[in-house]
Every structure is written in C-alpha cells, then in structure tokens.
Amino acid sequence: MEIDRRNFFKVGIFTAGTLIAPRLWGDIGLETVAEQPWEGPPGHENEVLSVCQMCPNGCGIRVRIYEGRAVKIEGIPGHPLNNGSLCPRGQSALQLLYHPHRLAYPVLNKGARGNGSLQRMTHEEAVGLLAEKIGDLVRRRQTHRLVIVSGSHSDTDELILRRFCDSVGTPNYIKIESLGRRSRSMAMGLSQGIFKPPSIDWSNCNFVMLFGSEPGTSDISPMWLLRGFGELRQGRAGRRAKIVHVSTHFSPFSSKVDDWIKIKPGTYGALALGIAHIIISEEKYDADFIEHFTLGFEEFKEVDGTLRPGFKEHVLNNYEPAKVSSITGVPEEVIIRLADEFSSNRPAVAYGGDGPASYSNAVSELVAIHSLNALIGSIDVPGGVLIQRDPPLRMPERVSNNSLFTHNLSQPPVDDSIRSSNLPVYMAGSNLPMRLSDSSPYPVEVLVLVDYDPLEEAPGPNYWREAFKQIPFVVSFCNFSDESSRICDLVIPPGTFLERWDGKSVDSSVGFPVWGLSRPVLETPLDGMDPSSFFMKLAKSMGHQIAGAFPWQSIEELLKEIAMDLNPSPGQVNPWDEIAAKGYWSQSPYRFGRQREVYQTRGNRFNFFMYSMEAAASHLRSAGYANLDKTGTDLAQSAFLPNHNSAEFENWDNRELFFLELFGTTLSGHGRHFSLEGLRELQELDLNKSWGLWLLINPRTASKLNLSNNEIVWVESNHGKLSARVKKVEGISEDSVGMIFGQDKGTEHSDTLSNSAMSLVGENISPLGGGLCWGTTKVRIYRA
Ligand code: SF4
C-alpha cells in the first residue's frame, strides 16, 4: 500500500497505541493523593465558601470540612446562579479531590516518552526546569517558539497565562473554549455587537424554543436553566410555560419537554427563518420593537446611496413554509403552529445550542435563530434575551510592548488565528496539530498544556501524536494520567479548584454581574501548585521584565487588587471582607432599557443587516481565507442578513455513510469528568448504559445492517476508526448514528489506545465563527 500523509496517520491509528504503550503511574508504585495524611483536629468541623469549577459556569458552593477532610459540597443559599442547589457534576468534585489515581507531585520522564523512567520532583524543581527551557529561548531570542494551550476554566489562569506569554514575548497563548461557544458568541456579536453567548431570563418566559440545546452542554448554566424551568413549569400559579425542543435525535431531555420536533442535521436556521416567514406574513411581529430597536428589517439606503436589502422581503421571498419543510423535514403544519405559539405566547425565547453550532454553517444558523427574538421583541425584556454584564474588576494593565520581545510577540501565531482590531473576537485558525508537526510557520520548542488533553478531547489525535514527536519539550498540567500526559516530558499536578485561590465572573446566565471567590477549602492542602501560582513563580524566577510584569506576592494579593472596585453593600466598607464572608459579589437586579449597552452595533440597534459580518468577510478574504462559508463569501448584500446555507458534510466514501451525531449530556457536559466513577454510574439514568463506548443506532438501521444489541462494530470516518457496542435507540434517525463525548473514559481501551469518539472528527473550523464543526463527520458502520 502506498503510504501518503492521510494513510500514514490512519495506519498510526491502529498501531500507535501499542507502539507507545503508556504506563500508568499506579503501575510504578508512585504515591497517590489518597495515601496522603489528611487528618485534622478530632471533632472539628467548619464550612468554607468557594466556587464550583466542574464546568465554566461558576456556581457558589459551601464545602463542609470534618476533621480536616472535605465531606460534603452544597450550593450557597441565595447565590444568584444556583441558590443553594448544585448539579451532580458539582457534587462529584469531592471524588476529584480524593481520587486514588490523583498524582501528588510533578514527574519527569527521563527516557523515551511513554516508556522512560519517571522521576519524582518538587514543584520548585519543576519551576526551575521550565525556567531553564524558556530561559534558553529568551537567550536565543526565540520566545515565540513557546506555545501554551489552556483548557482551564479559571479566569485567573487566563489572566496569568496570557500575561506570561505577553511578558515573555510569544503570540502563542491558545485558549480552548467549550464547543460551540465561539459560534454562539459570533452570532451575538454580529447582530448585537456583544461577542459573548446570550443570557436568558428563563423563569419569566412563557414559551421556550430550544434548537439543538441540551442543558449542561451549551454555555447556559445548567443550574440557571433548570432552576428557571422549574419556575416556569410549576412556580407560577395559573401560568405554565411551554418548552419545545427541536433536535436531530430524541434524548432524555426531549422526553421531559412539552413538544419534541425532529429536524434534519444542519437545517436549524432554515426552520427559524420558516417560522419568521409566517410571523412576518401574518404581521405577528412586534412592530414597535422593530421600529425603535432594529436596523434592516425593511430595505434602506445608505447616505452614499447604496441600497441595502431588508430582512422582511428576504424572508418572504426565500423561506416559504413548503420549501422550509422540504429542507428541514419538519411538516409545514408544525412550522405554522410553532410560529403561532411563539408569537402569541410572549415573552417567548429562541435559543440555539450545540446542535446548530456543530455544523459548517454554525454562525448563520445561530444568527437566524436569534433573529426570531428580535422579531417578537424578546431582547432586553423580562423573559427574553439578556446581556451578561461584567463586574467592574480592576484588571492589571497589559504588559507594555516596548520590551526586547516585541518582535517575537508580533510573529504569526502557530494556530493561524487572526487577531485584528476589525474583528472583536479571536478567530481560530485550523489544523493546529498539523501546523505543529510541520513546524509551520516555525518550529515549536516548548509546548505547555494546561488542563487540556488533546489526544482525548481534540479532533485528529494522531496528528497530535505526530506534533508531540516534533516538539523537544512537552509539559502537561494535569491531575491524572491522561492520554497526552503519558507521552509528555514533564507532568505537573495543578491540584483541584478546591485547593486554590481564584476569582470567577459569571459569564452567561443571570445578566447582572456576579463575581465568585474561590479559595482553598483544606487547611493542609497537598504540595500542589495551581497554574497561576506556578507561572507567577516561574516569571519571578526569570527576572528582568518578565518578573516585573508580576508584582504580586501571591494570587490572593492579585485578587484583592482586582476586587478593589466592587462596590460594597450599604453598611459595608471593605468589598474584600464582604466577598470573603459571602463567597461572591453581585449587583442585581438586571438593568433593562440601556440600549447603548445592549446593542453595541451601528445605530445601537439589533442589526438584521449585519455590518460587522460584512467587515469580517472582507477582512478574512483579504487575509487569504478562501474557504469561507457561503455567508461570508457571497458578496450579494442579502448574504449579510440572517440566512440558511446548506451545511457541508464529509462525503468520503461511495458506500453507505451515516451522519455522526456526537453529543454531550446534562450529567457529563462534553465528557471531561466522565472518568469519575460516580458521575459515570449516574449516566445509567440517562442512557441505561454506563461503562464502555456505545454506538446509538436506529433499530431499523441495525436490522438493515444485521446488527444486534451489544454487538461490537467498527465505526469508521475519514479520520480514524474505533470499536463500540451497538445500542438500538428509537430516537436516532435512520440516516444517523450517535455517540457521547468522553464515554470511552475508564474503559478497557483507555490505557492502551485512544478510543475517543473525537478521534473520528476532522479539524473542520468555521472561519467566520472560529468554532470546531464536529457535526460534519460521516461514518460507515460494519461488524468488528
Ligand atoms: S452547573 Fe457547573 S458550576 Fe454549577 S454546580 Fe454544576 S458543574 Fe458546578
């Protein structure tokens, strides 16, 4: 067989696991966290307030400590986000803290990666070693060859790591955001000028239409959403709201809503615009809101005479219900019913989740969905879309760029991203692992992974394996032996969020600003060092301008400075003391009616005609991006209105292929903490299957392929293949199969071969949103 680049990596898929068979730390007898002495004074009990970081949402928690051990986590009563309650993921944080496989100290791999001898180090020695490696780059003026990739949920890590990169002189701080977030942020940015996901006032809605959204898998806090749903379903006498779930597959969440609507993959935006068509043609839109708060509903002329098309005519001409029905598979009468219910049960809200965000047309689909909210005036009103305000934090000034390293800082970033003043969001480039392995645009010499396991979480794990081989020194900050850390040079356990100082802004939920204070809950924590403390120590050890960028003695001191401008409540003097006593700072209620804050667009209105999309498209084109989705390349003016463009799928084989639907669940999110046994067992409630990797398949498809339940099959995509057991599920379409993020963790495969479902996904990035399009994958299925 001729081995071309693609085949090379595909061969690697079948062989890499055995060639680099990793050894678990447990195998070589290193001491684990569970074996550490943790006893406190007999009978002593206390409670510490902190912030949950099992997901990015930042619920307030109180941790009960008995004789020095944390024994229970509960929510902080009165906390605006979770008001005393906690989701199962938050409660499982104690398993993370006391997990028997947690590593207690840094480990240096002294031989071949994955097979060498492991040497125990102190954190100070690890700081010294990394200072030596980066110091060498400084001496050779090659600091841009340092890359830090972070998946940490910590705001403080974000601040410190970015600052470290700025002060050293590398443009390569790469933040891994939750799936779908970039596209959701971009959709809000293009229409409202706010480049962050929307917040929703769930508890005051009368009608909720969720497009491909499962609680716990989008940016919306599951606690906020579930609390809101409880309120709108049962908490308002005589007023019970209706929840509609539009999705490609029937999930446990679908069974809990009032109305489940099945839709073809990649067509959510068409359905939204079909609904808009009915609302407009029947004149059921909010004319007053349209007149005062939107731009581009009707066609208009610029001062220079340029004629801009209007949303109204565009939708009436292009999205008739019959046409939309044939695109989406949703019956015409259902589209008409949804339009009627949505427009006559206000306040109503439409929200696009991971479903639409997963396809190549993500941004245009999400914009189309959000345009429904503008149509009925559901923005900045009770029960509508809110803007999440930020707390007035006193952030340190950026490191000035008159340093020795300005030249290095201005090198092109290795992920090919565009950071331009024209584009308010960071636009991710594609093929990061390929670029790393090809040394493009320059070789990388030190790669630092912070709370990120690309071999498990990223598409194309074998490209990552190849990238690792090209990089002389790879470091991973992680608490467990994961796929990536097993082939790193240095592994540094950062400890859990329950053992560190951190400040966390609530990002998209309640609307008004909330800032939570995270602090160590144990009096005698382990000898761990969180990434922020580690990098601050590292910077100080490097001297000169780098040390000067970190004047604080500790993260606690930095947080006190940051919190300086948070107004204390009446009667209180010191904001820090108040936050320390309460666990968080907030400023409620939400302020409605501040048009300039809600619409940071041209004319301070909702832009049906999206000027910033026009700017983004022309900027990306001039930056050499040829492969824009149609919305961005089409110069017709109507391209800058909400549109549905066909999603592109990977049709790579002439035989029968199925859409691969990769989804998260309320319990596991995108699967990061699936290795925690308690969470995994709870998953049984959702799926009736806990351990192992399962392929969800329609019973009729299974019988066509002659497959039975529990049978092992190969699932093969254009990027790799893996084995899974068949589970017949009626809720999956006949032309699709389903898998769950992270479900392979803890299986018999996990210490020999990456069996992550993400290994089936290609690195397809939506250029306009910068998000990964994980829904474009097609697979074939055959008996193993
Ligand atoms: S929603 Fe997120 S932050 Fe809140 S308890 Fe659950 S995991 Fe923790």
pLDDT in tens, 63-80: 999 888 888 999 999 999
Is the per-residue pLDDT at 769 higher than 70?
yes
AA identity, residue 732: I
**pLDDT tens across 273-320, in order?**
999 999 999 999 999 999 999 999 999 999 998 889 999 999 999 999
Q: Which of 136-150, 412-426, 609-623 has the highest mean pLDDT?
A: 136-150
Q: How far is the CA of 71 from the centre of ligand 1 (A)?
A: 18
Does ligand 1 come within 6 angstroms of the Cβ of 51? no
Mean pLDDT computed over 400-425: 70
Q: Please report which confidence band the pLDDT of residue 25 belongs to, taking 50, 70 and 90 as the band edges.
A: very low
β-strand 60-66 against 473-477: which pairing, if any? unpaired
Does ligand 1 come within 6 angstroms of the Cβ of 680? no
Does ligand 1 come within 6 angstroms of the Cβ of 52? yes
Domain with CATH 3.40.50.740 in the chain: 107-178+399-495+537-575
**pLDDT tens across 547-601, in order?**
999 999 999 999 999 999 998 877 777 889 999 999 999 999 999 999 999 999 9
Is the per-residue pLDDT at 460 higher than 60?
yes
Q: What is the pLDDT of residue 373?
A: 98
Q: Answer positive or negative: Cα dihedral of 441, 492, 177, 20.
A: positive
Q: Please report which confidence band the pLDDT of residue 426 belongs to, taking 50, 70 and 90 as the band edges.
A: very low
Does ligand 1 come within 6 angstroms of the Cβ of 55? yes
315 Cβ contact partners less than 8 Å away, ≥ 6 residues apart = 273, 276, 277, 280
Please report, rounded to a whole number, the percentage of residues in the chain having pLDDT higher than 90: 56
Is the per-residue pLDDT at 244 higher than 90?
yes
Tokens read off for 276:
């808009």
Name the residue with the closest Cα to ligand 1, atom 8: 90
Q: What is the pLDDT of residue 668?
A: 67
Q: What is the pLDDT of residue 499?
A: 93
Does ligand 1 come within 6 angstroms of the Cβ of 54? yes
Mean pLDDT of the chain: 85
Q: What is the pLDDT of residue 427?
A: 53
Q: Please report which confidence band the pLDDT of residue 423 belongs to, taking 50, 70 and 90 as the band edges.
A: low
| 399-428 residues labelled b (16+ CB within 10 A) or e (exposed) | beeebebeebbebebbbbbbeeeebbbbbb
Which ligand 1 atom minimizes the distance to the CA of 88? 6
CATH class of 107-178+399-495+537-575: alpha beta
**pLDDT tens across 86-103, in order?**
988 898 888 888 887 788
Q: What is the pLDDT of residue 614?
A: 78
Cβ neighbours around 180 below 10 Å, total = 31
Q: Please report which confidence band the pLDDT of residue 49 belongs to, taking 50, 70 and 90 as the band edges.
A: very high
Domain with CATH 3.40.228.10 in the chain: 182-388+594-640
CATH of 658-783, one of 3.40.50.1980, 2.40.40.20, 3.40.109.10, 3.30.1360.40: 2.40.40.20
**pLDDT tens across 495-542, in order?**
999 999 999 999 888 999 999 999 999 876 666 799 999 999 999 999
**pLDDT tens across 475-492, in order?**
999 988 888 998 999 999
For residue 315, give Cα distances in angstroms to 135, 231, 702. 59, 35, 40
CATH of domain 182-388+594-640: 3.40.228.10
Domain with CATH 2.40.40.20 in the chain: 658-783
**pLDDT tens across 747-760, in order?**
433 444 456 788 89
Does ligand 1 come within 6 angstroms of the Cβ of 222? yes
Q: What is the pLDDT of residue 689?
A: 59
